Structure 1
Amino acid sequence: MKKTLFISILSLGLGTAASAATVFTSQEEYSLGSGPSINNSALSGLIESPSSNTSPGTGTIMMWVTLDSLPSSLSSLISVETKKSNGGHSGSLNGWGVMVGTDGRLQICQQTVNASNSVTSASSKGTTSASIGAGEAFHIAISTAGGRNSGNFTLYINGEEVLTASGFGLNGNAFSELILGSSGLSGTVSGLTVDDAVLDAGSIKSILEQTRPVPEPATVSLGLVGLAALMMRRRRS
């Protein structure tokens, strides 16, 4: 079952967690396009506190991503945007995100998003040397610590650290939005998990295994048919 994901985050002033706690998890499969939204206030506290622009925002966002094809231009995969305190969204707002290049390499970027939740500009803070491809599931995780104006970010592919970035100067008020995908991407996301603490590689790998996609029955059947054919060929030889 494919759904399109758009999550609104309402920050309630939670600070850095004393211990890691999963605040959102879903085994549903979502498409990386535009469409209906899922509102989930359980994500509160991941990014900001409503009382101060510089209060800590700490958390880790994790998911399995399968692209149908690589994008024809730099496209947003994960976007976290600041939002006005009344929940309105009438102009351009700042945020950060993970974007996918035409070569499958990932970038941590400072972004500007418009009222339609589309990224209109992006300033890269770093690019991975590793890349992701089309037609194969990759586990992507990004952790953030330090708040809106001095956040430190660490990006992981399949549980391995591939990039760090810092020096973001963001503005806005307490509300934030987590947006997955963009019009430039075609594919699916599954195993979405959000934690309220900065997780290390070991913890991310543990969650990676727990949320690993299960092959469709048809895929398993084809695999078994192929294995049977290979065994018969070996017997004949």
Structure 2
Amino acid sequence: MSTTPPRMNAAEAAYRTIRAKIVSGELAEGERLTEKRLSKDLGLSRTPIREAVGRLILEGFVERQSGYTTRVARFPEDEIAQVFEIRGVLEAYSARRAARHARPDDIAEMREVYAVMAANSPPRSEAAYQVLTEANERFHKIILRAAQSPKLTALMTMALDVGMVVRTYRIFTEADLTRSLHHHGELIDAIAARAPDWAESVMRAHLLAGAARVAEHTGDIGQKTPPPDVKAAE
């Protein structure tokens, strides 16, 4: 029998359900969220709903406005571009450090998550898409953890908006997702080979490809300045 309090199980269920509705677009950007409505829709009490919404606010999926009003977060185009530029610097450095500091169990976990991604890419159903996006998020978190840098982790936490990243992932085409999967596999190879330059370059290419898709999607097809080289920061 599980020793986890039922309320915590309900909060996790509420979090996953609301997050999935936001990612799929069922809950649109700017849409108002109320505990009463969510409680009724999900068949849960307000306490786990409140916990789930609080977690989604921290991750950037939901924003709290004046008073107690909460809405699905809006992602302005210029902010999306900034997020990819920031990721280009921080995650390239993260991959570089991971190639030097990753433990065998980190690499083994990357391979496990990659297998899940490969089995669901390209996604043929909403459920497969949800599995793929969660696996992608987990994969990048493993690399960050493997970098073994509390300062880098703090910077990533402050600078990146998980909700924005997950939502933009949805605009990728089948070709984009195939390329992304290849990048993830090559990142594992580079990190396992203890090749910092290789790992950094693959992560940089991975994020530049994502940025290009976002730019095309938003109509911003101007030339973007590539992220600066981070070797000197190591």
TM (normalized to structure 1)?
A: 0.26
- Higher RCO structure, 1 or 2 (CA under 8 Å, sep 6+): 1
Higher helix share: 2
TM (normalized to structure 2)?
A: 0.26
Higher strand share: 1
